[in-house]
Amino acid sequence: MSAPPPPHERAVKAVIFDVDGVLVDTGRLHLEAWRALARELSLPPPDERWFRRTFGRRNEEILKTLLPHPPSQGELERLSRRKEALFRRLAKGKIEPLPGALALVRALKRRGFRLGIGTSTPPENLQMILEELGLRGAFDAWVTGADVERGKPDPDVFLKAAARLGVPPARCAVIEDAPAGVEAAKRAGMRAVAVTTTAEPEALQAKGADLVVGSLRALTPERLDALLEVQ
C-alpha cells in the first residue's frame, strides 16, 4: 500500500495577501498623501491617531471622516482619485518589501499554493507596487477596491478573490495587518493570519485572528498548510 500524499498535494489551498502593511509598509506615504490632500482643501492636517483608526478602509469611508461636510458621491470619487494620485507621486521609487515578504511569496509559489491579493488599494497603486517589488507574475488573481462595492470589514473582497482563484473559502488563509481585514477574513469563512505591522496583537486577536505574528519571517508554507488543515 502506497503512502498517502503529503498534505499540500491533497487539495489546492490558497493564501490571499493584503498589500499595505503586509507586503509593503506604505503607511507613512499614505499619511503624507492624506495630509497633502488636506492642505489642498485648506483643512487641518490629519494626525496619526486618525490615520490608524481609518487605515485599511475604502477612501470613500475615510473621506467622510476627513471632510467637514456631508460629501456628494461625485466629490468622494474625485477626492479619492486625487488622494491616490498624490500617493503614487510620493511613493514612486520608494516601495520596499516588508521583512520576509518576498521569500514567503516565492516559497508558497514553489509549494503549489494558489496566491491572491485582496486589498482596498486601487488597481493603479497595486500595479505600481507589484512592479517595483518584482512580483507582478507571482499572483494568480487579485481583487482591489475597484472590484467591490463594500470594503473591509465586509468579506466581499476575500470572497471574490477566492472565487477568482477557484479555491473554496475554507481552504484559504488571509494575511492581514488591520483589525477590519481580520474581521473580513473571518466573515468570509477563511483562516486569518495577522501580522502586527500597524495594529496591536490584542486588537487583531479581538477580531478572531487564528494566528498572530510579528513578521512574515515567522511564516512558512508548512505552517500555513497546517493552519488550513485544522477544522
Q: Centre a 10 Å sphere on the Cβ of residue 47 and count the other Cβ atoms it contains.
A: 11
User: Is 81 found in the same domain as 151?
Assistant: no
Q: What is the pTM of this model?
A: 0.85
Beta strand ranges found along the chain (DSSP E): 14-17, 114-118, 141-143, 172-176, 191-195, 211-213
- Could you tell me the CATH number of the domain that includes residue 12? 3.40.50.1000
Residue 121 falls inside a structural domain: yes
- State pLDDT tens for residues 67-85: 999 999 999 999 999 999 9
Residue 2 falls inside a structural domain: no
Q: Are strands 14-17 and 191-195 parallel, antiparallel or unpaired?
A: unpaired
Query: Which residues are marked as active site?
Result: 18, 20
User: Is 102 found in the same domain as 87?
Assistant: no
Q: Which residues of the chain have pLDDT under 50?
A: 1-9
Q: What's the domain range around 217?
A: 7-25+96-229
Q: Quick one: the chain helix, strand, coil %, rounded to 5?
A: 50, 10, 35
- Could you tell me the CATH number of the domain that includes residue 65? 1.10.150
User: Is 209 found in the same domain as 224?
Assistant: yes
User: Is 165 found in the same domain as 64?
Assistant: no
User: Is 184 found in the same domain as 100?
Assistant: yes
User: Is 181 found in the same domain as 84?
Assistant: no
- Contact between 187 and 167 under an 8 Å Cβ cutoff? The reply is no
- State pLDDT tens for residues 204-221: 999 999 999 999 999 999
One-character DSSP codes across 149-186: SS-TTSTHHHHHHHHHHT--GGGEEEEESSHHHHHHHH
Q: Measured between alpha carbons, how far is 5 from 11 in angstroms, rounded to an integer?
A: 10
User: Taking CA 153 as the corner, what is the angle to CA 148 and CA 155, rounded to the nearest 5 degrees?
Assistant: 55
